[in-house]
């Protein structure tokens, strides 16, 4: 039989220490709070699934000096080569047409390359470039037709005040020009 407290023992000795009651109560309350939070969290979360198709765009700007033979036109190593220019005089500018085809899968906005020449032959010849379309050129990877094709003009001029003895009658070899395309 267990020892029963006697009347002689002080009351404090018979009572359980307060912390022995508080610790299990706190742990029990924590467990209940944890279960409640988990149940609430589970009620507020849900899985969501979706799918979409994705593809990469192909960028391919091509140029031609004759409108029939196309080559890459958007890097210095693959510029459009224009035919030589001969017989330059102050009263007779020479124009060369650049044909451009957006063989990309996306529309491109065009700009002349920044490294294109603006003067040649020690200033005897100025080079000007016509405006390019402000609207994006449509893409057509299969053939150079319709809204995927445009033309631009490069003009070579001997300035009116140029020294006739030095600048008249000059000839230029083949000239490379670059047109750059960027997606909108």
Confidence of residue 6 (pLDDT cuts 50, 70, 90): low
Q: 13: burial class by Cβ within 10 Å (0-12, 13-18, 19+)?
A: exposed
Side-by-side strand order, sheet with 61-64: 71-72, 61-64, 94-102, 149-157, 125-129, 119-120
In a domain, 37, yes or no: no
Instruction: Give how far the C-alpha of residue 107 lies from the chain's centroid of Cα atoms, to the nearest Å.
Output: 13
Cβ atoms within 10 A of the Cβ of 44, count? 7
Asked whether residue 140 is domain-assigned, the answer is: yes
Q: Is residue 3 part of a domain?
A: no
Assess if residue 118 is contained within a domain: yes
Alpha helices (H) in the chain, listed in sequence order? 11-14, 18-44, 164-167
What average pLDDT score do residues 96-119 get?
91
* Per-residue pLDDT at 104 exceeds 60: yes
Note whether residue 44 is domain-resident.
no
Region 75-98 average pLDDT: 83
Q: Are 177 and 79 in contact (CB under 8 A)?
A: yes
Number of domains into which the chain is organized: 1
- From the CB of residue 35, how many other CB atoms can be counted at a distance below 10 Å? 10
pLDDT of residue 166: 80
Look up residue 101 and give its two tokens: 């085809």
Domain residues for 123?
61-182
Residue 172 lies in a domain: yes
Characterise 60 by phi-psi region: left (phi > 0), alpha (psi -120 to 50), beta (else).
beta
Q: In this structure, is residue 30 part of a structural domain?
A: no
Nearest in space to 63 (alpha carbons), one of 1, 23, 112: 112
pLDDT for the residue numbered 164: 73
| Residue 10 pLDDT level (bands cut at 50, 70, 90) | low
Q: Is the pLDDT of residue 42 over 60?
A: no
Q: Find out whether 65 and 80 touch, Cβ atoms under 8 Å.
A: yes
What is the pTM (predicted TM-score) of this model?
0.66
Q: What is the pLDDT of residue 130?
A: 96
Separate counts of helices (H) and strands (E) for the chain? 3, 12
Q: 40: buried, middle or exposed (CB in 10 Å: 19+, 13-18, 0-12)?
A: exposed
Q: Is the pLDDT confidence value at 145 over 70? A: yes
Tell me, yes or no, whether 113 lies in a domain: yes
């Amino acid at each position: 039989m267990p020892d029963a407290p006697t009347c002689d023992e002080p009351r404090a000795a018979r009572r359980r220490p307060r912390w022995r009651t508080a610790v299990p109560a706190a742990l029990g309350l924590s467990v209940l709070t944890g279960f409640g939070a988990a149940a609430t969290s589970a009620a507020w979360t849900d899985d969501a699934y979706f799918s979409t198709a994705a593809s990469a765009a192909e960028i391919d700007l091509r140029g031609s000096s004759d409108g029939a033979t196309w080559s890459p036109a958007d890097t210095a190593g693959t510029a459009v080569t224009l035919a030589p220019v001969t017989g330059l005089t102050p009263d007779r500018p020479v124009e060369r047409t650049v044909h451009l085809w957006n063989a990309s899968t996306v529309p491109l906005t065009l700009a002349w390359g920044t490294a294109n020449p603006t003067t040649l032959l020690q200033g005897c010849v100025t080079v000007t470039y016509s405006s390019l379309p402000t609207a994006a050129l449509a893409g057509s990877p299969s053939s150079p037709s319709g809204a995927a094709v445009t033309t631009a003009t490069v003009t070579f001029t001997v300035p009116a005040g140029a020294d006739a003895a030095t600048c008249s009658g000059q000839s230029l070899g083949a000239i490379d020009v670059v047109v750059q395309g960027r997606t909108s």
